[in-house]
Chains A and B, each alone.
Chain A
Amino acid sequence: MLSVDVEKRFGDFSLTAKFETGSGATALFGPSGAGKTTLVNLIAGLVTPDRGRIALDDTVLFDSTARIDVPAHRRRVGYVFQEDRLFPHLNVLHNLMYGHWMSGRRADTAERDRIIDLLDIRPLLDRRPGKLSGGERQRVAIGRALLRGPRLLLLDEPLVSLDARRKAEIFPYLERLRDEARVPMVYVSHQAAEVRRIATSVVWLDDGRVKAVRGIEFLDAMRAIG
């Protein structure tokens, strides 16, 4: 379970967010500029909150009063960025193995094969990211984050840079991920259709404030209101 209660100010923009998520996929939903990416960066440890507390299960990742700030590389939080951010100088296999190398975890070949098959990226293993299509790159990025052995997976609009056909290509993988990988997910999106398909609960963020935390049926209710 992820529990977040943070404040962060950037110039004119201020973010105040308090919510808890359970297992499964939680959508961070809201218009662009609502502070979704900032919030995800706070959870990943790439941005430091001004004040507050972030905890994952019984591990405190950040607590301003207790002066705890676990650095990003020790949080074991997988992150799939809007842009894939694959390492251009490493081939796909080495991109996938990067988390294993850095965390010093023993390479679990069964897990590796399972994720490679789940994402259908076996034919790509010895290619460089520069030679992949957008959809392939994003699938590799998802695999790389998963193979890091995360306790939480953050996906920041992973489909936003893809066209409709590529989106349709990735969706089944995301659904399988949610159902098979058993890693809690935080899925950032500003598109209700995407959220409805992936998420089990929704955190609605607008202008740096959490407006609601609900089940997925909330989106339908919102649409009904118009």
Chain B
Amino acid sequence: MLDLSSDEWIAVQLSLRIAVVATLVALPFGIAIAWLLARKNFWGKALLDGLVHLPLVLPPVVTGYLLLISFGRKGPIGGFFADAFGVVFSFRWTGAALACGVMGFPLLVRAIRLSFESVDRRLEQAAATLGANRAWAFVTVTLPLALPGIIAGMVLCFARALGEFGATITFVSNIPGETQTISAAIYTFMQVPGGDAAAGRLVVVAIVIALAALIASEWLARRAGTRFHGD
């Protein structure tokens, strides 16, 4: 039905890999920061909140530019990662995943923060009287009760990562097979004569992936929800 060329397939696979890696790597940081924002009062909380939300309000090109000067091969953080861990971001798919993760991060944190705020803290107290220290109470009570929100946040982050264009293309350019995601590929095909058919096929793929992600999250959230009310 959809006869994708090998270049198109590569763009699709790359997009999925970038979005999945971006979401999974962002998740632990998202949970930690959402927990801090939901449960703790500390100096600089408003600043942290603002920083997390910045990619949501900044032009994506600005986010991409900031990533380039900080995470580029010669940037302070990028240089450190390259020397210490051998991870290079600039013009690599890892950089695309970083850009997508940063862009999706505010959505991830917002959803998880809301779900942490809705967890009844009296249940955490009950866990304490039953012998659970804070870490165990978090893992066995807070986290499972916040699960529907965490899933929702992951889907939002994944969708944002899948659709990211501006920050990615600014930071890691548009290299087929390395940083050319579905969005970038559609844009490229539209620029060349006779590329409409290819662009159209990728548009269909993008719609299918987005719908599948939505349905999967709906199903997961419902399953997590019925675990509290059903038997």
Residues of chain A in range 40-61 having any CB-CB distance to chain B below 8 Å:
44-46
Choice from A75, A83, A89, A145 contacting B122 with Cβ under 8 Å: A83
Pick from B39-47, B126-134, B209-217 the stretch touching chain A: B126-134
Quick check: B228 and A130 within 8 Å, CB to CB?
yes
- Considering the chains assembled together, what is the distance between the CA atoms of A200 and B155 in angstroms? 57
Q: Which residues of A contact B123 (CB under 8 A)?
A: 85, 87
- Considering the chains assembled together, what is the distance between the CA atoms of A83 and B130 in angstroms? 16
Interface residues on A, range: 20 to 34
- Considering the chains assembled together, what is the distance between the CA atoms of A76 and B127 in angstroms? 12
* A176 in contact (CB, < 8 A): no
Residues of chain A in range 66-97 having any CB-CB distance to chain B below 8 Å:
71-79, 81, 83, 85, 87-89, 91
Shortest Cβ distance from B132 into A: residue: A102
Q: Which residues of A contact B120 (CB under 8 A)?
A: 85
Q: Which residues of B contact A78 (CB under 8 A)?
A: 129
Q: Which residues of B contact A98 (CB under 8 A)?
A: 127, 130, 132, 140
Interface residues on B, range: 20 to 34
Quick check: B231 and A128 within 8 Å, CB to CB?
yes
> Given that A71-B133, A87-B141, A103-B131 are known contacts, is A128 also in contact with B228, CB under 8 Å in the complex?
yes
* A99 in contact (CB, < 8 A): yes
* A131 in contact (CB, < 8 A): yes
Q: Which residues of B contact A46 (CB under 8 A)?
A: 125, 128-129
CB of A199 to closest CB in B, whole Å = 21
Q: Which residues of A contact B144 (CB under 8 A)?
A: 89
CB of A101 to closest CB in B, whole Å = 8
* B145 in contact (CB, < 8 A): yes
- Considering the chains assembled together, what is the distance between the CA atoms of A226 and B133 in angstroms? 47
- Considering the chains assembled together, what is the distance between the CA atoms of A145 and B231 in angstroms? 23
Q: Which residues of B contact A126 (CB under 8 A)?
A: 231
Quick check: A99 and B228 within 8 Å, CB to CB?
no
Q: Which residues of B contact A87 (CB under 8 A)?
A: 123, 126-127, 141
* A148 in contact (CB, < 8 A): yes
The interface bits of chain B over 105-134 (1 if a CB of A lies within 8 angstroms of the residue's CB, else 0) are 000000000000000101101111111110
CB within 8 Å of B: which residues of A?
A: 44-46, 71-79, 81, 83, 85, 87-89, 91, 98-99, 101-103, 126-128, 130-131, 144-145, 148
6 sample A-B contacts, Cβ–Cβ < 8 Å, listed by A number: A44-B129, A45-B129, A79-B126, A85-B123, A87-B141, A145-B130
